[in-house]
Amino acid sequence: MRQLLLVNHISARSLLRSVCFALAVLCLPPMNVSSEPFDARGQQFIAFKSFGTFKKSPGKQPGEIILTSREIHSRIAWDELIASWNVEMPASAYLKIEARAIYPSHTTKWYVLGLWSGDPARHPRESVRRQKDADGNVDTDTLILREPTKCFQVRLTLGGAGREKPKLKFLGLSLTDTGAQRESLPPNRAAWGKTLAVPERSQMAYENGGVLCSPTTVSMMMAHWSRVLKRPSLDHDVPEIVTGVHDPKWGGTGNWVFNTAYAGALPGMRAYTTRLTDVSELEDWIARGIPVGLSLCYNRFRGKGREPSGHLVVCVGFTATGDVIVNDPGTSKNVRKIFPRANLVDAWAHSKNAVYFIYPEKARVPKDRFGHWESAKAKPVLK
């Protein structure tokens, strides 16, 4: 009898342990998924490379198509959005990019983030002014909200004559929480002592050169990939790019997303505007052998005061002690220059660390630690 009771006791205890173990397994987080919250550092990049989840509806013009996303839910509560697009654009084709924020109490109007076309003589290729209302405004290429949100939608209008329609390759959405506080990151010393062989070009060699820093930056980056890939067709001179990116409503050629849209329209290339949060992330790209366009304050960069002066340069490397090496198009001689690291940090903050990424679609980009560029972390969350 005592033996029978002991067996029954052992069986019951074993059953209890099995049940407890099963419950414990159910309560564990999935493998390879950290239980810690994801550190976005106040920035997020969301990428679309297919548009099958978008609702398709007819537009107002014959043959026009409207693609409307489902609700997109972000990791961060953002108050600034920059949309980039890579589109193969026949001559008669056109594209309109819009976004709206969704709050618990209401949904904003659709803000126009850009009008793009194959031929600006046939359809507009420009930003849209005077969109300000109680919810926000569009500053050339950046949607700025009065109150942050974590829910929004985008809408794309595509049109063209006959079968000449835009072919969407990529849509990138850069989100920023302008109130986020970020600690500095340890530098990536793998980039120190490394300089990329990016061709040097000066904007001052061209008519009206004082305002051509952005297309000259794009020209240098494209020339670099032309040499690396042995594709001469990628090497476009500055005047050609100036014509392609001119924004008559902005009054020049510095519209960030127009410059990346120009480069991203080329076969096999990816180009977009996004924002980083630290020089360490910039070093990740140099260590991987990929130059980066930087938007910054030229006066701060040169240590000549704090008067705002927007400028674009190409980051091509870092010295052995961590100072930045750039191709600076804003000079007639010695385009390759070295600036103190502290000047870079101060000057780059002027644009909230905006960058141009231009690289082959099949390039092996750096590990995306914080979800700030095209990577597995850029997958949208839709509802």
Residue 261: what pLDDT?
A: 98
Our CA angle for 172, 250, 256, nearest 5°, is 30
For residues 305 and 303, give the distance between their C-alpha atoms in angstroms, rounded to a whole number.
6
Residue 38: what pLDDT?
A: 77
Q: What is the pLDDT of residues 93-152, one digit of tens each?
A: 999 999 999 999 999 999 999 999 999 999 999 999 999 999 999 999 999 999 999 999
| Partners of residue 314 on adjacent β-strands | 293, 327
Report the CATH fold assignment for 43-176: Jelly Rolls (2.60.120)
Residue 163: what pLDDT?
A: 86
Residue 344: what pLDDT?
A: 98
Residue 1, pLDDT above cutoff 90: no
This prediction has a pTM of 0.90
For residues 152 and 41, give the distance between their C-alpha atoms in angstroms, rounded to a whole number.
20
For residues 90 and 178, give the distance between their C-alpha atoms in angstroms, rounded to a whole number.
37
For residues 259 and 240, give the distance between their C-alpha atoms in angstroms, rounded to a whole number.
12
Report the CATH number of the 189-382 domain: 3.90.70.10
For residues 371 and 169, give the distance between their C-alpha atoms in angstroms, rounded to a whole number.
20
Q: Where are the chain's structural domains?
A: 43-176, 189-382
Residue 323, pLDDT above cutoff 60: yes
Q: What is the pLDDT of residues 5-41, one digit of tens each?
A: 333 333 333 433 333 333 333 223 333 333 346 789 9
Tokens for 176?
A: 């920023």
Q: What is the pLDDT of residues 235-245, one digit of tens each?
A: 999 999 999 99
